[in-house]
């Protein structure tokens, strides 16, 4: 079968003696930092929902949510039996094992706690985080591709690739599909929505669009992605990724419906030095 050559990119971007910095780690860092700057820009175009200090602090809360939630989600949803038998490996994050749905739940918990602590609308904070999330997803999926992990099912499509750990059969480069759908396309959709004052002033529309949009994108891509070996296909031939994404679609649509039924947000009166710029 015809197939494309898999680009053999070293997963280690920089190595200094025993210290190795992987592309996967750089993807997380790039996603968080670029997302943070984009949130600052987004908040400068909306009512003063969050101050500069709020946005800086939200980055810290979101980072904790991503790391702790992503690891916990992977353990609970994808490999619980293994970690129950090998609890010492739970903290070995450098060996891999992060799940988006777990990271998503971690960030949601962080947003709720952060918003209540600062007296800010939870949905408004969700909107701000949502506009930046596709940036991190894009870089993360590119890093998955570089690592040759989370590859797709066998295919005879001319763009199929033979992955180092995927056997001799050409497979869908599903990581690139996810980078496009969950990352680039979802970013463009949210960017267009963010240009509308009607949308920006109704907390929940942006966040709901991201949550539902990701769920739909993930459900679609899972038809091309190879299921996790330890799980395989589950109820009605669905994958774990699809089952976890269905509630996201419903919750996202619920957020949008709620936002459309509520009054526009009122501007918070922030000191001039704390206003976003």
Query: For residues 79 and 228, what is the distance between their CA atoms, to the nearest angstrom?
Result: 9
Of residues 176 and 25, the one with the higher pLDDT is 176
| Residue 141 annotated as part of some ligand binding site | yes
Query: Is residue 13, in this structure, part of any structural domain at all?
Result: no
The pTM (predicted TM-score) of the whole model is: 0.88
Question: Which CA distances in Å does 237 have to 85, 223, 231, 240?
Answer: 28, 10, 11, 10
Query: For residues 110 and 66, what is the distance between their CA atoms, to the nearest angstrom?
Result: 9
Domain count, the chain: 1
Task: Domain of residue 189: give its range.
Answer: 19-266
Query: Is residue 10, in this structure, part of any structural domain at all?
Result: no
Query: Is residue 11, in this structure, part of any structural domain at all?
Result: no
pLDDT, tens only, 166-216? 899 999 999 999 999 999 999 999 999 999 989 988 999 999 999 999 999
All residues at 6 or more sequence positions from 231 whose CB lies less than 8 Å from its CB, including other chains: 78, 239, 240
97: left (phi over 0), alpha (psi -120 to 50) or beta: left
Query: Is residue 244, in this structure, part of any structural domain at all?
Result: yes
Query: Is residue 175, in this structure, part of any structural domain at all?
Result: yes
Query: Is residue 5, in this structure, part of any structural domain at all?
Result: no
Lowest mean pLDDT among 32-41, 87-96, 144-153, 162-171: 87-96
Query: Is residue 139, in this structure, part of any structural domain at all?
Result: yes
pLDDT, tens only, 48-70? 678 888 999 998 999 999 989 99
Lowest mean pLDDT among 130-144, 179-193, 222-236, 254-268: 254-268
Query: Is residue 274, in this structure, part of any structural domain at all?
Result: no
- What is the model's pLDDT at position 270? 52
């Amino acid at each position: 079968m015809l197939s494309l050559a898999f680009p053999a990119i070293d997963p280690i971007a920089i190595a200094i003696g025993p210290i190795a910095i992987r592309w996967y780690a750089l993807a997380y860092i790039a996603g968080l930092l670029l997302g943070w700057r984009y949130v600052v820009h987004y908040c400068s175009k909306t009512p003063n929902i969050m101050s500069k200090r709020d946005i800086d602090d939200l980055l810290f809360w979101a980072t904790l949510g991503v790391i702790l939630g992503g690891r916990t989600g992977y353990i609970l949803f994808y490999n619980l039996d293994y970690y129950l038998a090998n609890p010492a490996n739970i903290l070995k994050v450098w060996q891999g094992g992060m799940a988006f749905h777990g990271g998503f739940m971690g960030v949601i918990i962080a947003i709720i706690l952060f918003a209540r602590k600062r007296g800010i609308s939870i949905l408004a904070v969700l909107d701000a985080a949502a506009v930046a999330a596709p940036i991190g997803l894009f870089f993360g999926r590119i890093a998955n591709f570089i690592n040759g992990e989370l590859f797709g099912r066998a295919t005879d499509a001319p763009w199929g690739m033979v992955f180092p750990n995927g056997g001799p059969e050409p497979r869908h480069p599903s990581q690139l599909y996810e980078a496009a759908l969950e990352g680039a396309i979802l970013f463009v959709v949210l960017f267009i929505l963010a240009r509308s004052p009607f949308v920006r002033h109704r907390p929940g529309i942006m966040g709901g669009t991201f949550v539902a949009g990701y769920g739909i994108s993930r459900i679609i891509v899972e038809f091309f992605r190879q299921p996790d070996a330890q799980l395989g296909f589950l109820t009605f031939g669905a994958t774990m990724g699809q089952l976890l994404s269905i509630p996201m679609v419903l919750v996202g649509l619920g957020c949008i419906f709620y936002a459309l039924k509520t009054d526009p947000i009122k501007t918070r009166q922030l000191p001039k030095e704390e206003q976003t710029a």
